[in-house]
Structure 1
């Protein structure tokens, strides 16, 4: 009879999954942002069947999850499961002059991310959109206010107006990520709260972005 605590067996499974160099490399990449299997395949120069095996092993160990893109439904994104690396050492730190959060309209997710970043890090932050809206979404203003942030004086800006050399770019919507194929950076596949346009949807997006900001902030240093 196995009397080992469940938590111990789960930790052992994670360590076993991470013992393979390819799987450890995948997790190192995912500590920064989300990747599609195709993007991981290109990064690792690995056959698709072998990548599928590694991803399945990581999923079974509770290290990663996947979900469909909101832009191209044929595409999926792999992300670290929440709390996957608790008790484990994450990948290497990175340098940044400024963190630039990008979404399509610059009316919700990227604005919230930039505001949250200012709480979590001394590295400057900004936000921009590939096709900026005329104003910030009311749901974003409301959820920010509920959590002690004020977005009232901010307006959506175009990426070409804001982007600068040395920016550490973080796309926070699938459409922007899949549009900006030549821009180097990381991706957070955060569902669009404006699709449902409910208080719950904005709270979920805020919580997702907040967790990611606080995970990334200790791993960046001023460049």
Structure 2
């Protein structure tokens, strides 16, 4: 066989070996990718809300003359003002891999406070909004600590100001610390304990006379 023929056969065998090697590498990469996607899938994720169910939500006053109480968004520490369900274990914040909040926690807490206060003050229209010219009173709430511990202890530190529309009337400021115990073994437990802390806060807020 001529030298040219030998060279052509060697070239064909070389390309064949390269193609086989590429096939093996491609199959391996595909297998790793499939395994990676399966691992990333993890357990199913459940979305929770801290707001009250519709059958518990109070009715809105029908009178257009009802005084308006504005409740701007509650302030929360940055470490918990997100959509993660968090349990504190000492100095470690453990994020749930099976559940999350449906919105930022500050938004949900604001809505739940509004719902609880609306039930306590049916003569007023309690709204989650910034004050306007039509607002009779503004409630500003700041939560400096909100933790659900792995030992089942929930702690909420908050202060709030009740600001009347009339500038001649003084603001009324209060603060509280709330400590509650409950199970925290499941995401539902964490949601329930967080809601209970917010409900206790709402029960301690006194709006006084609303005009």
TM-score (norm 2): 0.30
User: Larger radius of gyration, structure 1 or 2?
Assistant: 2
Structure with the higher fraction of residues in helix conformation: 1
TM-score (norm 1): 0.29
Structure with the higher fraction of residues in strand conformation: 2
